[in-house]
Amino acid sequence: MRRFAWQLLALISLTGLRTSAPAETRPRYGGTATVEIHEAITLTDPGEWPPALVPWVYDRLVRLDDHGQPRPALAISWQHDAENRRWEFQLRPGVKFHDGSPVTAAAVAASLKMGPKVAISSEGASVVIQDETPAPDLPGTLADSRYAILRRGADGVTSGTGPYRIAEWQAGRRAVLAANEDYWEGRPFLDGIELRMFRAYRDQAVDLELGKADVVELSIEDARRAAQRGLRTWTSAPFELIALVFERGRAPAENISFRQSVALSVDRAAIHDVLLQKQGEASGALLPQWVTGHAFLFPAARDLEGAQRTAAAVPKSGLRATLSYDPADALARSIAERIAVDAREAGVLIQVAPGGQADMRIARVPLRSSDPAQALSDLASAFHIGELMEPSAATDEVRYQVEKKVINDFRVIPLGHLPEILGIASRVRNWQPHRWGDWRLDDVWLEPRTP
């Protein structure tokens, strides 16, 4: 099922590129690309970075190709035993960290942190990973940004091996990355990247339109507007779960009938068609269809009669609740208000408020991994529903059952999955990011600005 998903994604990706990418010209070196993001990054630790940005500075042992297959990166080859418990990765020779120190097996083993059940050691130029449980997808897992290889200096500053190094760092505001002249895969075309952080979506859209930025994040509303104005956009696969989460310990949320009535009352189609501008997908599943292949099995349609019937079983005093959202997130607010409208039809009164303590909240959780098991585990941590998860969701069937168990508990109500939409300046050439994550700027070059 997963293979089918990857193939489908690849097809969609190609279609998207054809429709949005301008005609390519000959590559050229030089120039600094300006990238704006909404998030404020305070640390140089890649664990704190948006996954899409991590490959700019940090490499992993393995990377995924456009088909989701693991390909060599810092590791040039790997072997495993029959039970998939012991894996040995041979490192690429001659690679150096940005601080000039060589990338050794010991340094890589020191960099990797994979939990108490996984032992990591070095053997010559190889890194040995011994897992207590079989890990047949370990190379795919190591392609995740959280397993980026780095060297932490005495001052706490990290060094990677990626195509760009950190030349200037203003925590939470601005960073300047310079091209790594000694990059093992060849110097990138760009001389550098200026990363502007904590930029409002609307400001990013304006900067893109004014030519002040080359790559920006776009909100759904701005994406439509940008498209209408002929600006170049790129849409990722739906990778961000947007969900209604019932908080633990809050009286109304502890009543499963109440949770169910709210869940059944939600009109996901209206949210997807209007609020999400038909971006992404309306879904009743935790993970998107392209990741698991079974998301369509979870009903997403509204059942107002069922919601009203379920609400009737709840004491009238228990049919009131509060719903919070991130005050900085206009989309979350719109969705929260729509949920309140839908719930009112079922007889549930929901008061919407920005931030603060509430019985429910709108949560937006980006998937940090395309691996369904890892993604489920990440969601379990994000939603504090670890007790509902199986210790090892190794197969599709088990993962489906786990997801079903979570869905039927009605504590986390998936509403849909959103893609990431970027605005790309017309002078950016060879923009070929992975649809599920990495913003690959190592192969990008810039056309000179027209006077």
Partner 1 sequence: MTFRTRILVIFATTIVAAVAMVVGIVSSSTRREFERSNAERTAALVQQFSKEFDLRGEEVARAAERIAEADATERILIDVNGAERDYSLHVGDASALSRSHGLDFLELVAGDGTIVSSAQWPARFGYKEAWLLEPVDWKSQTAFLKREDLAEESVLALEAVRVAARGDSRLYVVAGRRLGDSFLASLVLPSGMRALLYRNLEPGFSPQALSGAAPGDAPRLKSLIEQVQHENREATSVIPWTSDAASEETFHALPLDGRDKRPLGVLLIGSSRAPVVALVRFIRNVGLVVGGTGTLLALLLAGWATARVTWPVKQLAAGAGEVARGNWEAHVEIDSHDEIGDLARAFNQMTRELTEQRDRLVQAERVAAWRELARRLAHELKNPLFPLQITVENLERAKREHPEQFEEVFRESTQTLLAELANLKTIIGRFSDFAKMPAPQFEAVDLNALVRAVLRLLEAQLATSAAIHPEIHLDPRLPSIQADPEQIKRALQNLALNAMDAMPGGGTLRMQTRQYNSTVILEVSDTGQGLTKEECDRLFTPYYTTKQHGTGLGLAIVQSVVSDHGGTISVESVPGRGATFRIELPVTRPASAAGA
Residues that bind partner 1 (CB under 8 A): 221, 224, 267, 270, 273-275, 277-278, 334, 337-338, 340-341, 351-352
Nearest to 284 by CA among 400, 419, 376, 413: 413
Decide if 242 contacts 440 (C-beta within 8 A).
no
Decide if 389 contacts 251 (C-beta within 8 A).
no
Helix (H, G, I), strand (E, B) or coil at 281: strand
Which CB atom, from 166 or from 413, has the smaller least distance to partner 1?
Answer: 413
Decide if 315 contacts 258 (C-beta within 8 A).
no
Which CB atom, from 54 or from 243, has the smaller least distance to partner 1?
Answer: 243
Nearest-approach distance from CB 416 to partner 1, in angstroms: 14
Which CB atom, from 113 or from 278, has the smaller least distance to partner 1?
Answer: 278
Please give the Cα distance from 227 to 22 (Å, whole number).
14
Nearest-approach distance from CB 360 to partner 1, in angstroms: 15
Helix (H, G, I), strand (E, B) or coil at 439: coil
Nearest-approach distance from CB 270 to partner 1, in angstroms: 5
Nearest-approach distance from CB 199 to partner 1, in angstroms: 22
- Kindly calculate the radius of gyration of the chain based on its CA atoms and give it in whole angstroms: 23
Please give the Cα distance from 435 to 154 (Å, whole number).
36
Which CB atom, from 221 or from 254, has the smaller least distance to partner 1?
Answer: 221
In this structure, which amino acid lies at residue 29?
Y
Beta strands at 126-131 and 86-91: parallel, antiparallel or unpaired = antiparallel
354 to each of 258, 271, 275, 324, how far by Cα in Å?
22, 19, 18, 5
Which CB atom, from 196 or from 338, has the smaller least distance to partner 1?
Answer: 338
Strand ordering across the sheet containing 349-354: 281-282, 412-418, 240-246, 360-366, 320-325, 349-354
Which CB atom, from 228 or from 450, has the smaller least distance to partner 1?
Answer: 228
Which CB atom, from 117 or from 278, has the smaller least distance to partner 1?
Answer: 278
Which CB atom, from 272 or from 429, has the smaller least distance to partner 1?
Answer: 272
Query: How many Cβ atoms are within 10 Å of 123's Cβ, its own excluded?
Result: 12
Nearest-approach distance from CB 265 to partner 1, in angstroms: 13
Contacts 24+ apart (CB under 8 A), 386-394: 392/133, 394/134
Beta strands at 75-80 and 428-429: parallel, antiparallel or unpaired = unpaired
**Residue where the block lists tokens 């088990």:** 398
Helix (H, G, I), strand (E, B) or coil at 187: coil
Decide if 201 contacts 37 (C-beta within 8 A).
no
Nearest-approach distance from CB 273 to partner 1, in angstroms: 6
Which CB atom, from 185 or from 221, has the smaller least distance to partner 1?
Answer: 221
Which CB atom, from 98 or from 302, has the smaller least distance to partner 1?
Answer: 302
Please give the Cα distance from 100 to 201 (Å, whole number).
37
Nearest-approach distance from CB 328 to partner 1, in angstroms: 18
Nearest-approach distance from CB 274 to partner 1, in angstroms: 4
Helix (H, G, I), strand (E, B) or coil at 272: helix
Q: For 96, which DSSP code?
A: B
Decide if 243 contacts 365 (C-beta within 8 A).
yes
Which CB atom, from 224 or from 404, has the smaller least distance to partner 1?
Answer: 224
Decide if 136 contacts 146 (C-beta within 8 A).
no
Decide if 400 contacts 294 (C-beta within 8 A).
yes
Half-sphere exposure of 12 (CA within 13 A, CB side): 17
Nearest-approach distance from CB 353 to partner 1, in angstroms: 10
Which CB atom, from 285 or from 340, has the smaller least distance to partner 1?
Answer: 340
Burial of 47 (0-12, 13-18, 19+ CB in 10 A): middle
Nearest-approach distance from CB 341 to partner 1, in angstroms: 5
Nearest-approach distance from CB 366 to partner 1, in angstroms: 23
Nearest-approach distance from CB 15 to partner 1, in angstroms: 20
